[in-house]
Structure 1
């Protein structure tokens, strides 16, 4: 089935959508993106993704090409046009196109594109088996709180993990875990405390992370926001990642060392269940 995509004010079959070879998103990775999950045709955590999109665009000086109301309408329309019941909406805004130059003009027209992907978010088999991850030095740029399309290092890291028989990687900087390749990373200590890296430029300010922490506090689960090492994570009772596409996903081993009993933790699975219930309830109320 050919998807309908959005590009600069037009709805097009995916094979007819064309972006200039001079677009700075292509030439310099000069672009911001967001990914919003969809369940039952409803957008999950949408306000948080929109707020982060605005922050990221402002951080690198790209103007928002449409209003907030128009952006929400575009999301609803692309879901409807593609009959998306469960999956993801990917949005990208680049600075625009002009002849290649490290310096850019002030009056460029941003390129706005959107497409959908069908993904079995609820029936993800990894939620039942958990992820095996490996640790790797964090070689990404310093401003990781900005959600740019500069994802080559993460892509290569994921491929390295796959080649080594693992599911993903966790990045390590100065002996401490920053995050996973495309998700925030968390542990639950043997005393039952949810520990996650505090927000800074070292990691993406995850929308799912924020929702999960709020739910954990509501459920009276103690939360600590601080840095921690690979060794502490390996010694934890449970571990998990959070992201728009994975929701809450158990991690069962790091560098071959099992976490807990090597199976998805009960608290992690309960957090996943609570998060999904909460998001579906919020989405239905919008």
Structure 2
């Protein structure tokens, strides 16, 4: 029998379907909250320190006082995850500013609401194959604080919807000046003649935890990396394109806006990095 999926909400641990959030919760009313998603491998939470450290930075950026410090939060997540007994899971962590009658101005003494859910990893994520993706580019009209992992994700939702309408997998944001930032839920890398490029981790993108691991792996593989802005034209002419996030790791992109990338197959550098990343997840 499948192990129960769990929810921790403000100190109470229940089965997932039993958890209920207040209709006055500010994350529900305003998107006034922050979140993280952690993947576990064989009962080990991968990259938890990086995720919680980023959660702390996001909280500070929106002036949300967390109920516990980073060390306490990591221990809480580990405790909730262990209760689930799920071997390979997705652990969702959300902190809302709290619940009170709707008002743009929040009370300074409002108690944050903490939600942690543990769900089974979807079946499609167990594949050992480097399934290629197709993508479109979409205008990047988001705010200038994308380094905050906010629950307010309407622009990302609409970008993914446009990808679905176009019959592709991914949506890649491009600013008015023609520069690529990131995809709707992942960071974007391109490979130009053995050099791996990605957008700098500034306020235009969310600096992904997997992005950081990939840059470290590039150094270990003696691959040159450059963190700089690059254009849509450079994206389309790249030898390889891949995207990264904590859920689906590293995925090659073989077609963008109907144009083939490289030879139309997952590239050598992408495959090498995916193999190294999976070895890393197995070791930790």
TM-score bin, normalised by smaller chain: over 0.9
Aligned residue pair count: 280
CA distance in 2, matches of 1:169, 1:87: 25
1:121 to partner: Cα distance: 7.2
Match of 1:234 in 2: 236
CA distance in 2, matches of 1:129, 1:247: 12
CA distance in 2, matches of 1:255, 1:88: 31
Match of 1:179 in 2: 182
What RMSD, in angstroms, separates the aligned Cα atoms of the two structures? 1.5
Match of 2:260 in 1: 258
CA distance in 1, matches of 2:124, 2:134: 19
CA distance in 2, matches of 1:124, 1:256: 26
Return 5+ residue gaps in structure 1 as ranges: none
Report if the CA contact (8 A) 1:129-1:263 is conserved. Answer: no
Q: Is 1:206 aligned with 2:208? A: yes
Match of 1:188 in 2: 191
Change (3 A) 1:85 1:239: same
**TM-score calculated relative to the size of structure 1:** 0.93
Report if the CA contact (8 A) 2:33-2:150 is conserved. Answer: yes
Match of 1:40 in 2: 42
CA distance in 2, matches of 1:208, 1:161: 23
Structure-to-structure mapping, 1:1-286, within 5 angstroms: 2-119=4-121, 120=123, 123-124=126-127, 127-173=129-175, 174-189=177-192, 191-281=193-283, 283=284
Q: Deviations over 1:11-68 (max 9, x none)?
A: 0122221211111111110000001111101011111111101000000011111243
Tell me the SS of whatever aligns to 2:114: strand
Tell me the SS of whatever aligns to 1:62: coil
CA distance in 2, matches of 1:109, 1:248: 37
Return 5+ residue gaps in structure 2 as ranges: none
CA distance in 1, matches of 2:89, 2:184: 20
1:122 to partner: Cα distance: 5.4
1:70 to partner: Cα distance: 3.2
1:139 to partner: Cα distance: 1.9
1:92 to partner: Cα distance: 0.1
CA distance in 2, matches of 1:216, 1:210: 10
CA distance in 2, matches of 1:197, 1:53: 21
1:69 to partner: Cα distance: 3.6
